[in-house]
Structure 1
């Protein structure tokens, strides 16, 4: 084989350039963007015919040639030879074979590789955002259903890695629901930015032909044309908005995933993962390894890292059409979507199946004395003490109980009597039964009835609101999908009609 470094360098493409740039770009296009190229060609052709820029006879011949190319060429089987620069020029070459150079070249009237490429990339992102949003909505709904199921299930809430206060698993899951709502909203906002068509901007400044940019946008399923033609080819905020939203979503999801890893540890054990999601050690048969959580953690981190990389590629690039935002960068970003889909599917399944171990939770609550805050609060309300006085009495009780390895409900009353009388110089009106109620985790949760709290009423109100959000998101997403379906059907009808020329 001839060393490519010795080849004739006077003819394009240089063999090294061909292998390091053109072949990967061609392969990326044939894997990711064939449908987009096809839709853009057809929508542009329909518009050229409707505006009279091309005659109906010319448009009919071009339409027939495009159909024959689609029928005769399997993009996946193509090998890059260097005879044409890229996939776009391959289609143009095939048109010339069928129509001749003059008629084939008329399809490119009033457009450029610049507006074609950014339209192509936006179509690719829209399709992937559709899937991502759908999977995010599935997770959102699974979290709501789990929160409703576990709304009264006690757990230990941690701060700084230590047991802090009791709450319910439903209250904890509702906290995840709330940031997922905000992350989904950011995905929709990113979609709105992507959903503006660059077609018709041509290279930079539109053209002198009487094109109809709104019509092309409609046929391709965009909400409208992006107005400023320079922005169409230079404004990569559709990329940064998409991957910025993804970066934040998977940064946020990684945090409760890490909690689940901690809560399933042997020492904590407040979350039980069913056998279908547990792998057994190859050498230690007693070990139940909840490895899906580990996979969630590293896949969420991979998604975050890939999304962040897309933002960094855009950093300090010129405000113009440039290769930094194009084919290979787009393909790199698609990897973030692939790992994102896996995280959302797996986390949705996990959330639906995990359970709280009530015995372990009860023991952890007993050993950690985490209901002691309510004793201090109750002393303020029932005995008229300042919170600082109540806090000091409660602290003394907790120290005494922890020292004996006991629990507040069963072993705390005697230390409480001593601490109260020492601090106040009088007897307490709280009897043993009332004391046991005050320091119970059920009471702790039940009295926290303020807005956003874990008690039954505020949590029920929150869950109803989350259901409203889910309904609104589903309707919003359905409307986007309906627009895509309608546009695709209209484009096909108008394209087929081009061939019905008498």
Structure 2
């Protein structure tokens, strides 16, 4: 009977394989070097403080480790580092530097009661929190700009479209109110995702916490987290902090892409109800008459890129095992950061553009005239003033609109004769509405003014809505300010506690 060959007996290979080094380890090292150095530093220092406060390390040991960490920060020029394969990754580089300064026994004590697993997810959450905060600040700024523009343009008439066709007059302020409502909900979703991110995994160690008397709540507080994430398996396996973040980003930029598309349509030569100032217009290299509002195109494709990058993060998480895994770690996180980069460009550019665009009132009035879009109010007025059913009134209004469009006329000026004829034929009686009353009821100003129900475009309803949006935005801003203040206190405490250890001998 032949012996079973065990390949382990003659495996003389040495880690890392050159191809593995270049395709996996070097990109991971460079990613950590670019994105997570500050996170590593904070985690090491907070963990050292916690180990000391719980008595797991004595103050003499902690002081020596603190001084070594301080020396590493001063002596190792991280941006200039080139990955050599001597250590697996950035974490082991720091451990190697500690060993060189302290010896393996003392250096190794810093890793007591922690794992690469809880460290990594904490790093990623620290990286996400700062990026979410920056993005939320930009989104709130956009909301602030939109509210100010909506207040400025609360009475400015525009043509509202349905199915790509002129439908009814409203105001630009009313349109922007709809945009603001969605944006505020999107900001709320991202802020809620941030609350999920704001739970510390530290202390979970590999999976099951530790037999050492660690203080997970203290570690969370030192790192600026609101709380420790409770279940230790969840700390290393759950990626809903990733999916909730990128899901919120995906929705925000899907939603922003829709009014951006409207801007593209409204600035077309044929519609022309939005005027884009010269500062945002590029001229054709061959056609001197052309005004190209290309920032809108950039907004559209950058929104799509952001949406796609955020969606890609969700796709990467799909069908992965419920455990610690590389799918959710270094390179995936770095890929996700690109969504934040393009998102920031959209929010900045959109805020700048929206503050400066203007409605071309002459084009709006011409489009209203040509499309007869105030005729809905004629039908409504006939119901209220003549006691007709809406269907009967609708048929009269349709006949009037058809007659006016046929002669390319103006509803207020040219529609009264057609109205008298249609009303008489439909009702077999004469109307009490004279020419002046007819002209008023089909005017766009009257159309807007009578729509003063909750959520409508009339001044009182719109002003109340805009004030409500301002209150919502102020609350979101106050919430962010409180979080920033709490985290600043935590950061200052970590610095003070670590500095105190430096003097321990």
Normalised to the residue count of structure 1, the TM-score between the two structures is: 0.98
Aligned pairs for 1:3-22 (under 5 A) are 10-22=13-25
Query: Is the partner of 1:59 in helix, strand or coil?
Result: helix
CA RMSD of aligned residues (A): 0.7
The match for 1:385 is 388
Query: Is the partner of 2:166 in helix, strand or coil?
Result: strand
Q: What is the Cα deviation at residue 60 of structure 1?
A: 0.2
1: CA distance between counterparts of 2:234 and 2:292?
Answer: 51
The match for 1:111 is 114
Query: Is the partner of 2:319 in helix, strand or coil?
Result: coil
Q: Does residue 358 of the first structure (1) align with residue 361 of the second (2)?
A: yes
1: CA distance between counterparts of 2:302 and 2:382?
Answer: 48
Aligned pairs for 1:170-319 (under 5 A) are 170-319=173-322
CA deviations on 1:171-211 (whole Å, 9 max, x unpaired) are 00000000001000001100000000000000000000000
Q: Does residue 88 of the first structure (1) align with residue 75 of the second (2)?
A: no
1: CA distance between counterparts of 2:303 and 2:152?
Answer: 26
CA deviations on 1:267-307 (whole Å, 9 max, x unpaired) are 00000000000000011111000000000000000000000
- Alignment match of 1:51 (pick from 40, 51, 54): 54
- Alignment match of 1:126 (pick from 96, 114, 129): 129
1: CA distance between counterparts of 2:483 and 2:338?
Answer: 24
- Alignment match of 1:144 (pick from 144, 147, 170): 147
1: CA distance between counterparts of 2:382 and 2:291?
Answer: 44
- Alignment match of 1:31 (pick from 23, 31, 34): 34
Query: Is the partner of 2:209 in helix, strand or coil?
Result: coil
The list of structure 1 runs, each at least 4 consecutive aligned residues, that deviate by more than 3 angstroms after superposition, is none
Number of residue pairs the alignment of both structures matches:
495
CA deviations on 1:62-121 (whole Å, 9 max, x unpaired) are 000000000011111000000000000000000000000000000000000000000000
The match for 1:440 is 443
Q: What is the Cα deviation at residue 481 of structure 1?
A: 1.1
The match for 1:370 is 373
The match for 2:430 is 427
Say which is worse superposed, 70-79 or 198-207, in terms of deviation. 70-79
**8 A contact 2:63–2:502 mirrored in 1:** yes
Q: What is the Cα deviation at residue 501 of structure 1?
A: 2.1
1: CA distance between counterparts of 2:89 and 2:217?
Answer: 28
Q: Does residue 474 of the first structure (1) align with residue 504 of the second (2)?
A: no
The match for 1:499 is 502
Q: What is the Cα deviation at residue 500 of structure 1?
A: 2.2
The match for 1:5 is none
What runs of 5+ residues in structure 1 fail to find an aligned partner? 1-7
1: CA distance between counterparts of 2:40 and 2:487?
Answer: 16
Q: What is the Cα deviation at residue 9 of structure 1?
A: 6.7
Normalised to the residue count of structure 2, the TM-score between the two structures is: 0.97
CA deviations on 1:395-444 (whole Å, 9 max, x unpaired) are 00000000000010110000000000000011100000000000000000
Say which is worse superposed, 288-297 or 465-474, in terms of deviation. 465-474
1: CA distance between counterparts of 2:307 and 2:293?
Answer: 22
2: CA distance between counterparts of 1:473 and 1:15?
Answer: 50
